Chain A
């Protein structure tokens, strides 16, 4: 049935509680209701990132700009995990992260990049992100992160 792909393993191991069997993958369900926010100006990336967060059991919203993300948070929305792209049109990724921290956001914030540029990581980390990851957003590193948040 499924094509055998070298090195391919079902991405996630099961966790306690009911596991959702989704076409051969096991995406865990969480004790808490996890909420996520994707901040990415590129439509394709945004759609896929939102989808994958959803697959991993996170109720996710997606916005195109740092400003929109900040506005959401200012209006009272809270998130467990926020993913921010490095290149945003006006307010940059790091600026967005910094603003969020200033607003008192304590959620896990992950900076995302497509290509690694010298100094990007430092800038993002200085702005207060918890981690800096290369696209694409993958269940392989997302799920262990979520597991921690769920405990």
Chain B
């Protein structure tokens, strides 16, 4: 019994840290609200979609910015999409970087955009790591016979 309590505490603490450190925002709570018995894997599914989308977009952004003549409209469109998806799951830091990224696009600044891309890639890999750890902790908690603490 003790093990389960430990795991649950670990899970709660870890989740709280993600909010405190600004990785996630209120939107993520909304996603958790959408998960229930009829939709038990909603959060994992939606976050997996986010991973797929982001990786594709970050890839595309890299390619687009490497072109001799950069198509900033394309860059804009990708950043827009990335901001949309990151805001949908509450990936706050990634979302904020997209705004900075867009400003570089407006200025038609390739150097600036490349820098922004590096930053977004970095933040993305951080939040991806954090979320994967979170899901692992949830799985462990459930496997030990515990339930995921809800809001």
Instruction: Check B46 against A114 for contact (C-beta < 8 Å).
Output: no
Complex formed: what's the CA distance from A136 to B89 in Å?
8
B:83-126 near A, CB below 8 Å: 83-85, 87-90, 98-99, 102
Instruction: Check B80 against A114 for contact (C-beta < 8 Å).
Output: yes
Query: What's the nearest-Cβ distance from chain A to residue B89, in Å?
Result: 7
Instruction: Check B27 against A45 for contact (C-beta < 8 Å).
Output: no
Most buried by B among A1, A45, A87, A114: A114
Given contacts A24-B150, A55-B33, A114-B80, contact A48 B26 (CB under 8 A): no
| Chain B binding surface SS class | helix
Instruction: Check A25 against B33 for contact (C-beta < 8 Å).
Output: yes
- Of A2-10, A58-66, A72-80, the one with at least 4 CB within 8 A of chain B: A2-10
When C-beta atoms are compared, the residue in chain B nearest to A3 turns out to be B16
Complex formed: what's the CA distance from A28 to B101 in Å?
38
Given contacts A3-B15, A23-B150, A25-B151, contact A44 B30 (CB under 8 A): no
Complex formed: what's the CA distance from A2 to B32 in Å?
12
Interface residue tally of chain A, by bracket?
20 to 34
Instruction: Check A8 against B29 for contact (C-beta < 8 Å).
Output: yes
Chain B proximity mask over A19-33: 1 for CB below 8 Å, otherwise 0: 000111100000000
Query: What's the nearest-Cβ distance from chain B to residue A146, in Å?
Result: 16
Complex formed: what's the CA distance from A143 to B22 in Å?
26
Query: Is residue B77 contacting chain A, with contact meaning CB distance below 8 A?
Result: yes
Query: Is residue A18 contacting chain B, with contact meaning CB distance below 8 A?
Result: no
Complex formed: what's the CA distance from A51 to B31 in Å?
8
Query: What's the nearest-Cβ distance from chain A to residue B138, in Å?
Result: 14
Instruction: Check B30 against A138 for contact (C-beta < 8 Å).
Output: yes
Those 3 A-B pairs whose CB atoms lie nearest each other, nearest first:
A3-B16, A114-B84, A51-B34
Name 19 interchain pairs, CB-CB below 8 A, sorted by A: A1-B12, A1-B149, A3-B13, A5-B29, A8-B26, A23-B32, A23-B150, A24-B151, A25-B33, A42-B84, A44-B84, A47-B49, A48-B89, A52-B30, A55-B30, A87-B80, A115-B80, A135-B87, A136-B88
Given contacts A44-B84, A135-B88, 13 further A-B contacts (CB under 8 A): A1-B149, A5-B29, A24-B151, A25-B151, A42-B81, A44-B46, A44-B50, A45-B88, A49-B88, A51-B31, A51-B42, A114-B87, A136-B87
